[in-house]
């Protein structure tokens, strides 16, 4: 165990943790965050996605020590139910969720894309969604919601 500084959604936390622990468990267990979720533990599905240095990364395969002191953004960090991020608002407007378990991967991957390329076209949107699994298959609405923000 060692003391590690985590900067998450604008707040700084000290956690006493095995430095090899995947970031996901630090976020969900030590900090009690609900956005990033366990899907596969293998980096295959995207449910655990967070944004670090502008990139959407898989927190289930990211050792916590590797992001010590670096700003980490989770799904709850970009908006609230009262004041959602434009992407979150588009998902509400289009009712682009069913069970909603995949939303960290979907919305944060889209945010990382649109932050770099606000006018991203559909093929680019589909490309960032390649590695994300939504088993409810809300695909049509999800692509539409991201596209709406990009237009």
Partner 1 sequence: MNRRHFLAAAGALFVEFPAFGQVPGAPSMKALDSWVAIGADGTVTAYSGKEELGQGIFTAQAQLVAEELCVPFNRVKLITCDTALTPDQAHTSGSQSHPANFNHGNLALACATAREALIRLASTKLGVPVSELSAVNGEVRSASKAIGYGELVGGQKFNLTLDPAAKRRDPKTWTVLGKPVPRTDIPEIVTGRFEYVQNVRVPGMLHGGVVRPPSPGAKLASVDEASIAGMPGLVKVIVKKDFVGVVAEKQWQAIQAAQKLKVSWTPGPALPPFAGFAEHLKKQQPTRDTRLLDSGDVDQKLASAATVMKASYYHPYQMHGSVGGSCAVADVQGGKATIWSATQGVWYQKSACATLLGLRPADVHVIFQRGSGCYGLNGADTVTYDAAVMSQAVGKPVRVQLSRADEMAWENFGNAFALEQRVGLDARGYIVAWDHEAWSPTLGNRPGPSTPGNVITGTLLGYQPEPFVARSPAPPAGAFGSSGFNNSSNGIPSYAGAGHGNVKSVRVLVHNVRSAFFTGPLRSPARLQNTFAHECFMDEIAAKLQVDPLEYRLRHLSFFRLRDALTEVAKAANWQKRPSPNPKRPKTGMAPGRGIAVVAYEGDNGYAALVAEVEVDLATGLIHTKRIVVSNDSGPVSNPDGIKNQIEGGALQGLSRALGEEVTWDQTKVTSVHWGNYRSLTLGMETPVIESVLINRPEEEACGSGETSITLIQAAIGNAVFDATGARLREAPFTPARVLAAIKASS
Residues that bind partner 1 (CB under 8 A): 1, 17-18, 20-22, 25, 28-29, 32-42, 44-45, 47, 74-81, 84, 88, 91-92, 95, 97-104, 106-107, 126-143
Q: What DSSP character marks residue 20?
A: T
- Residue 124 C-beta: closest distance to partner 1, Å: 11
Three-state SS for 82-97 is: CCCCHHHHHHHHCCCC
Please, which residue, 53 or 135, has the CB nearer to partner 1?
135
- Residue 66 C-beta: closest distance to partner 1, Å: 15
Please, which residue, 83 or 151, has the CB nearer to partner 1?
83
Please, which residue, 14 or 95, has the CB nearer to partner 1?
95
- Residue 12 C-beta: closest distance to partner 1, Å: 19
Nearest alpha carbon to residue 24 among 60, 56, 77, 54? 60
Please, which residue, 7 or 139, has the CB nearer to partner 1?
139
CA angle 132, 79, 40 (to 5 degrees): 25
- Sign of the torsion formed by the C-alpha atoms of 22, 27, 33 and 36: negative
Strand 11-17 with 71-73, pairing: unpaired
- Residue 24 C-beta: closest distance to partner 1, Å: 9
């Amino acid at each position: 165990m060692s003391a590690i500084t985590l900067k998450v959604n604008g707040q700084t936390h000290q956690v006493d943790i095995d430095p090899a622990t995947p970031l996901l468990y630090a976020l969900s267990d030590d900090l009690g965050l609900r956005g990033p979720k366990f899907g596969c533990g293998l980096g295959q599905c995207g449910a655990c996605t967070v944004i670090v240095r502008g990139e959407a990364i898989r927190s289930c395969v990211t050792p916590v020590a590797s992001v010590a002191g670096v700003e980490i953004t989770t799904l709850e960090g970009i908006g609230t139910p009262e004041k959602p991020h434009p992407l979150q608002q588009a998902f509400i407007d289009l009712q682009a969720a069913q069970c909603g378990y995949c939303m960290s991967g979907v919305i944060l991957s889209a945010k990382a894309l649109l932050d770099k390329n606000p006018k991203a076209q559909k093929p680019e949107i589909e490309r960032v969604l390649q590695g994300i699994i939504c088993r409810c298959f809300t695909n049509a609405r999800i692509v539409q919601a991201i596209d709406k923000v990009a237009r």
